Amino acid sequence: MTTRLIAAFVLLLATASAAVAQTDPVVNYRMLTQAESVIGTPGEKSPPKSDAWQSVALPDNWNASHPGFGGYVWYRLPLQDIEGGGKLAVLLPRLCMNAELWVNNSLIGDGGKMTDPVARNWHRPLYFIFSRALLKADANWLYIRVYAYPNDGGGLGHPYFGKDTDLKPLFERVNFVDNTLSIAALVLTVAVTLMLLTLWLLRKGQSLYGWMSASGIFWSIVIVNQLFEYPPLWLTRYSWEWLVHSSIDLYSFSLLMVVHRFVDAPRKKIEAATATYFLTASALAWLLAGDQLVVWFNAIHIGAIVAGCYMIVFCAWQYWKTRQARALGMTIAIVCCLIIAMHDWLAIVTSKQLGTMLIMQFGPPIVLVLLGVWMMLQFSKVLDSEERRRLQIEKQIAEVSEELNIEHAKRMELERKTIVLAERQQFSRELHDGMGGHLMSLRNMLSGEVHKDSNILSALDQAIIDMRLLVDAVGEDNNDIGMIIGMVRSRVEPQIAHTSLRVEWQLTGLPMDCLLHKGYGLHLARILQESITNVMRHAQAGRLVIKASHNADSAAVMIEITDNGCGIPENVRFGRGIANIRERSRLIGGHVEFNSLPGQGTTILLNIPVIS
């Protein structure tokens, strides 16, 4: 996959080059190959009238024709009118550093400032449109005034002259490669660099990401140099040129660091030697080069070429040993990058750059594409691994959860059986203690010599109520306090109806679903039954109030049973009924108080915990 992406990028570059090189089947413009030139002077406002014009072949590179020269050179080219109507145009696809153009003695345009800082159009085509009215009936001349710095490859490439409508497509093709594609390469480089820098900041232990981002930063400076018309910020031309050329070499060093870590084979001594060479050479160039700065760096760049050859051999050897696909991909990427770099370097050192396209800016993005693809593949592997791990953990959790559910179901079943058994035992005790006592009373009454039918019926009624109450209260779901109070009320009201006692049930302070713990329902029912029965039998009361309220803070319910009867006499010995109330209150975790004064009635306060 990586190899295919690199091949696609190279194919795109070749297609762009072919687009620039192609010509239309029928064109109405000319490429000018011969000119006359003369050295200019600062401050000239029009083409010079001189006898020193000398014939020169284009492209004219000053490194060859005027070694060490920096300043102004005039070029004079004869123009022949183009048939047809419409405006005419001149295209300068290659020049260094900037130019002004005249047709005859009329200025038709310039590429920016012609004094320091001079506009940098060494990698930007210039296009000028002018009217046919500037042409004369006899001889016509195109004058081009070029400025360049010493030893900086100054000069003029092939100008093109023709109709605007015919020449403009050629300009657009050249501009597309020199500017549009360069901007695209810069955007790609910056985007990948920011991504790598973010990864490095998040994972500072991964030096690979740090060196990747460093290489992107250095190469971004190189591409910016091709796009900016003037040196950025406060930098002088000398400082900016030094920074750009140093960035080329530091990119090579950063790429060397990346390669070693990319294939997991660092070489400390080679890295130290390379860093020493580039840093020392750049420092010496800054201090000593002067007007020879570009010449110095053209020589220093040989180290970058050697480093590139080393990286190719190193990656190829790693692939031979390990068969790592990433080592092969890096080998191919660096080969492409080095071929492109060698193309431009040779064009510059042989003074051919004004007659060829410079494409060095497209080389390192190939490596960045490879690194980006590799990172995506690595992250994809990590995500796949995490996904498999997540699924495995979820499966284990599901298995453990199923086991726990089975164990919980077993425990719940065992607990239910235990509760049922306990309730059955409790049911038996209640039958024995409650129903047994009433039946024994009934037996004694029936066995006596004198008895009244009303006593027998009363005892039988009480036995029936006890039996029904016991049946209602025993069960797994009878733990709702409201339901228990309602159940007791339904069982005792028929009995109360035969008395003069008036009962008020005040349950508005009791919320829904106020639950006791399981198994406590019968105890509460018995407490209420015993309390009401005592009032009916002993209190001689005319009014009984049963009030229930809930305290959310303490998770408890307060039941208050108040009558207006005779009260409990002082020094009286409590019977079995009150003792049962205290015992049952203790069993359900509650607390009961008896407040009574003779002749003023009795209040029973029952506080019982509920499920919060």
Residue 559 covered by a domain: yes
pLDDT in tens, 139-188: 899 999 999 999 999 999 999 999 999 999 999 999 999 999 999 999 99
Residue 75: the pLDDT is: 97
Three-state DSSP class for 544?
strand
Residue pair 122/153 in contact (Cβ under 8 Å)? The answer is yes
145 and 212 share one domain: no
Q: Are residues 157 and 244 in the same domain?
A: no
Same domain, 191 and 334: yes
CATH number of the domain bearing residue 74:
2.60.120.260
Residue 179: exposure state from Cβ atoms within 10 A (0-12, 13-18, ≥19): middle
Side chain identity at 1, as an amino acid letter? Answer: M
Whether 249 and 377 map to the same domain: the answer is yes
Q: Which domain holds residue 142?
A: 29-174
Averaged pLDDT for residues 470-487: 70
Residues 6+ apart with CB under 8 A from 407: none
Domain boundary among 174, 193, 212: 174
User: Do 336 and 191 share a structural domain?
Assistant: yes
Domain membership of residue 186 (yes or no) is yes
Range scoring the smallest mean pLDDT among 11-25, 224-238, 398-412, 580-594: 11-25
Res 5: pLDDT: 45
150 and 64 share one domain: yes
Kindly tell me if the per-residue pLDDT of 553 is higher than 70.
yes
State yes or no: pLDDT of 417 exceeds 90.
no
Average pLDDT over residues 29-43: 93
Same domain assignment for residues 160 and 263: no
pLDDT, tens only, 64-76: 999 999 999 999 9
For 496-540, strand residue ranges (E) read 502-509
19 in any annotated domain: no
The two three-digit tokens of residue 594, written as one number: 């008896």
Please give the residue that has the higher pLDDT: either 601 or 448.
Answer: 601
Pick the closest to residue 282 from 261, 308, 303 (CA basis): 303
* Whether residue 152 sits in one domain with residue 277: no
The answer to whether 369 and 3 are in contact (CB under 8 A) is no
CA 551 to chain centre: 49
Q: What are phi and psi of 603, to 5 degrees?
A: -125, 125
- Give SS3 for 265: coil
Question: What does the pLDDT average to over 245-266?
Answer: 93
**Per-residue confidence at 523, pLDDT binned at 50, 70, 90?**
confident
Same domain, 266 and 361: yes
Residue 545, Ramachandran bin (φ over 0: left; ψ between -120 and 50: alpha; else beta): beta
SS3 484: helix
pLDDT tens-digit readout, 447-473: 554 545 555 656 555 665 665 565 555
**Domains of the chain: total:** 3
Query: Are 107 and 185 in the same domain?
Result: no
- Considering 174, 202, 218, which residue would you say is the last residue of a domain? 174
Per-residue CA distances from 283 to 103, 222, 590 (Å): 46, 18, 91
Q: Which of 355, 382, 409 is the last residue of a domain?
A: 382
Q: How confident is the model at residue 14 (pLDDT cuts 50, 70, 90)?
A: low
Q: Let me know whether 209 and 162 are in one domain.
A: no
